[in-house]
Structure 1
Amino acid sequence: MYNVLSNKKFINTKTLFHAFIAATGLVSVPLHILFSPDPIVSITKFTIHSNIIVALLFTVSTFILLLKKKESRLLNLLKHASLLYMMVVLLSYHFLLSSGGEYSGIRVITNFTLHYLIPILVLLNWIIFEEKKWQSYTSILYPLIFPVLYCLTSLIRGLYDGFYPYFFLNPNEHIPVGVGSYGNVVLFIVGFTFVFIMLSFLITSIDRGIFKYKNRISYKVKI
């Protein structure tokens, strides 16, 4: 009986946590865009796209938990990808982009929620609530699809209108507005790809390690 009640409490807490992440994203993203000096520019940011992905995924996950359904393998893979995106958002903003813009009014709050709060909440969710599974190392590559498409579309659009959402994608200007050449753009993309792969490898390895450890303990208890 205690195990049943304990598991029910865990699921309820997880549901509330997922709902909070979803609500924070669903409120923060529109406000950050609407109160932007240039909403069209704001919409092009990887931070906005990745936070939309998180908000939608955790909204779906919340309803699945409320309906007491089991999450699909696809949803688990997408949540793995969203964790990766959030870590890249947090790290790249903190170490590369935080000094590049000033915010006022409500955007001070939404900037914090999108770049720090939501990434940290998604990380905590993975640590505390997500069931660790034996993920294949080939799954490391799947989350790269979205960032690669984002970079390609940004570069192609830049050829037509000269706009690039981030300085490291701009080959036509020099630091701090651009990086001076397509060669430097490629170097930045390769660097980010390496970061994505290493983080994805780390997350997958931790998942596999915890899963293996729990199975070993469970096997010893049965014996």
Structure 2
Amino acid sequence: MNQITATAPSGVQSDSLTDTILAALIATGASTDTIDTARETIAAGQTYSAFAVAVHDQNNQDLIPVVDCLASITRRVVDNQSLKPLLALIEQEKKDEAAAEPGHYPWCDGDITRHYDDGEPVVEHVGPRIDMPLPDDMACRGDQLLSANLGALDEFTGEPLVSYNSGGNGVLLNGPQLDQVIADLDTFVDGLRHMRHLMDMERGK
């Protein structure tokens, strides 16, 4: 393999982790392939770290378990610890899902039994919930701008539905209906981004 003969500039200090590591590799005569791999590895780690922070800042309940699991794997790799405990946990979760009672969904966080005067008890499967927080000083009935909750009623249709709510007024959405809401929200967010860009233009940024 080709060797890099350049050396790190003497007398120059850098706070950059990338610069420090690459300079050390160059000084030891590491190959081009090794240095390229190190650069990609550092960049991947920095990108993941920023992504993980953003996931927690946004309280994304769907992705938080993913980034937390990856963080555990990373710590074990750094500390030269075995990954077998994590793999065993994953296998156990798969077995638990396979052994779940019929009608109990893998995404279900718990069941709520509701009792009505005119019929049998109704079991509601309750899944993930996400809320859009209100901007400061904004008033909304129930302090709820937008919220969505995945659930299912076996006695109703048994089909998983999303309860989509705004200010306490809600509607149940099936898959295609939820797809339309997602498309509408994407369009709305794109419009907000355009407005933000125009604000920056007005300020000469």
- The structure number with the bigger radius of gyration is 2
* Structure (1 or 2) with the greater strand fraction: 2
TM-score (norm 1): 0.27
* Structure (1 or 2) with the greater helix fraction: 1
